[in-house]
Structure 1
Amino acid sequence: MSDLSILLVDDHPVVREGYRRLLEKVPGYRVVAEASDAVSAYEAYRQAKPDVVVMDLSLPGLSGIEALRHIRQWDHAARVLIFTMHSGAAFALKAFEAGAAGYVTKGSDAAELVNSVALVAKGERAMSNDVAREIAAERLAHAASPLAELSPRETEILRLVASGWSAEAISASLHLSLKTVRNYHYQIKTKLGARNDAHLVWLAIDAKLV
């Protein structure tokens, strides 16, 4: 049986080294590439063509959601496991909407990460227990996040706006026209019922986007 190739994406080298050691203790698991941001993650995926991507959501610049979107656009069969500190249902649902195959929090046991990689490699869905509870609680309470109406792209633009990025900077980073970015900005405010950008920032903070 051939090795299972893995791409690790996290902006902290020490963290990546720890996960590399953990995963490579499993017979047949091999980390073939690493990346520290969304752009290098996309490039590393195209070069290494790994079986599974293990990726954080919180990356410098563009988020893991944006990296996930780009990877899945290039290879619709890409199997991406999100491994992050964010346990909120809104984050997890947006990741799955963008094409993630699994979502595990960094507070999970090491065995859960290893098992989730195996599930994702087989084409199955993986989710840590804490995330499953968050999603179940939200659905039982019928209390959908205000961000539920936003697309993954709109969620990413909201995160950048709330982080202080200008429309021009967002346009350059996402390769969108300035007019398109401003249209997204308007649509986001309309969907969320935000009065102004300060209100958008408050909503983003409340949803733990920033």
Structure 2
Amino acid sequence: MKKISVMLVDDHAVVRMGFKLLLQGSDDIEVLGEAQSGEDALKQLQTLAPDVLIMDISMPGMGGLEAIGRVLAKYPQQRILVLSAHEDIMHARRVLKAGASGYVTKRSAADVLMQAVRAVYKGQVYLEPEVAQAMAVEQVSGSKNPLDALSEKEFKVFLELAKGRSVQEIADAMSLSPRTIGTHLYNIKQKLNASNSAELAIIAIRAGLIKP
């Protein structure tokens, strides 16, 4: 029987090791390789060609959301399952919009991760049950989140600002100029009707993106 081949993408070696051991405990899944960043994953994809790419989204460099876009631009048929520490529905919505096929959190039980890999491999969309329920409730209530108006880069800058990082620190981390980050900051404040970083932090806390 052909096993489902996967590649793990996470910047923490210990995390990769843990999930590798977990996945290889199944009869129908094998881990072909590992990558520590989106850039690293792109380099290895052509050689490894895994059935499913299991990717974190909070990584240095281009980050997971941008990596999803770049992977699918180059390999449109690639199945991507996001395995994230973020338990809010905002991140889940964004990865699905970017083209990923599934979203599970790192606190998921082993059987949930296995189900997700198998579902994504078959071409299905898989959401961790708790996340799927929260998204359904939001859809039924008809509530719109102003954060949805942010572009991917603006969303990334917004999160860093909400965590208390300075414009210079964010510029260094994202390999952009402080002026570019300043432009993003201006647009973020306009879209979210916020006047300072403290208000941005409050918005992030209310959305469940960061802990108070």
Residue equivalent to 1:141: 141
Root mean square deviation, CA, Å: 2.7
Distance 1:168 1:40, change over 3 A: farther
Residue segments in structure 2 that go unaligned for 5+ positions in a row: none
C-alpha distance in structure 1 between counterparts of 2:13 and 2:6, whole Å: 16
**Conservation of the 8 A alpha-carbon contact between 2:54 and 2:80:** yes
Instruction: Give the TM-score of the pair, scaled to structure 1.
Output: 0.83
Residue segments in structure 1 that go unaligned for 5+ positions in a row: none
Residue equivalent to 1:161: 161
Residue equivalent to 2:21: 21
Residue equivalent to 1:68: 68
Q: Which moved more, 1:125-134 or 1:185-194?
A: 185-194
C-alpha distance in structure 2 between counterparts of 1:208 and 1:57, whole Å: 16
C-alpha distance in structure 2 between counterparts of 1:34 and 1:209, whole Å: 27
C-alpha displacement at 1:33, in angstroms?
Answer: 1.6
Q: Which moved more, 1:200-209 or 1:122-131?
A: 200-209
C-alpha distance in structure 2 between counterparts of 1:177 and 1:59, whole Å: 20
C-alpha displacement at 1:6, in angstroms?
Answer: 0.9
Residue equivalent to 1:83: 83
Instruction: Give the TM-score of the pair, scaled to structure 2.
Output: 0.82
How do 1:1-210 residues align onto structure 2 when only pairs under 5 Å count?
A: 2-60=2-60, 63-167=63-167, 170-171=170-171, 174=174, 179-210=179-210
Q: Which moved more, 1:153-162 or 1:59-68?
A: 59-68
C-alpha distance in structure 1 between counterparts of 2:158 and 2:41, whole Å: 22
C-alpha displacement at 1:123, in angstroms?
Answer: 1.6
**Conservation of the 8 A alpha-carbon contact between 2:162 and 2:200:** yes
Secondary structure class of the residue paired with 1:81: strand
**Conservation of the 8 A alpha-carbon contact between 1:158 and 1:185:** yes
